[in-house]
Each structure stands twice: as C-alpha cells, then as structure tokens.
Amino acid sequence: MDSLFVKALKVETRIGIYDWERQVRQRVEIDLEMGAAAAQAAAADRVEATIDYQAVCRRVVDYVEGSEVQLVETLAEGIAEILRREFGVGWMQITIHKPGAVRGAEDVGVRITRGRRAD
C-alpha cells in the first residue's frame, strides 16, 4: 500500500488537564499518514482519484482549533474519525506532538494507527 503524508501541521488549540492550560491556546503539531492507491491516482492524474491533502488539512485544522479536549489521545481519535468518515481513509497513522509540555523534554505526544494496512 502506498501512503500520503502531512508532516508537522501546526495548529493552536486549548488542550490539557491543568487549569492554566485551559486558559491559553497551545501549539500542537500533527503528522498524518494515510493509506492511498498512488498508482491509480497517477494514472488518472486528477485530485479526485486520490486523497486531497489540502482538504484534509483544512478540515483537521478546523477541528483542532475548535476543540477543547484534555488529552492528545482524544484529539487523535477525533481526527481518525474525520479521516475515516469524511475522506474514506481505511488505514492511517496519526501523531500529535505537544512540544514543551514537559520540562526537560523537547516533545511529548501520542501516535495511533487505525485500520488495516494492505500491502
């Protein structure tokens, strides 16, 4: 299986478990990898034959900016549901980075994989 990817999509949102986190917007970075049939898309040479990553990014940004969840896990599951329902993505890997969330660590976050990858 081929895949399309988006790396380090930066979005401001309210996320966290502490009161101070609920008062400010924080930056998260999102990496998406989505199973796709690149050969079919290449043969057609039309965006309609593939996953429109521009449309995916707009939708993910809208969702993340509007959410006020506590956990990065919840955010990742919400994105997975959007990719599945709205874009027909069968296999995906979503990584959400929350840089600076833990003193002494450059980055923390979560990576989830949903669906079955067909090779």
Q: Are 35 and 91 in contact (CB under 8 A)?
A: yes
**Buried-state track 24-62, b at ≥16 Cβ within 10 A, e below 16:** eeeebbbbbbbbbeeeebeeeeeeeebbebeebeebbbe
Q: Is 98 a catalytic residue?
A: yes
Residue 75: which of 34, 24, 109, 107 has the closest Cα? 109
Catalytic residue among 78, 98, 100, 114: 98
The catalytic residues are 98
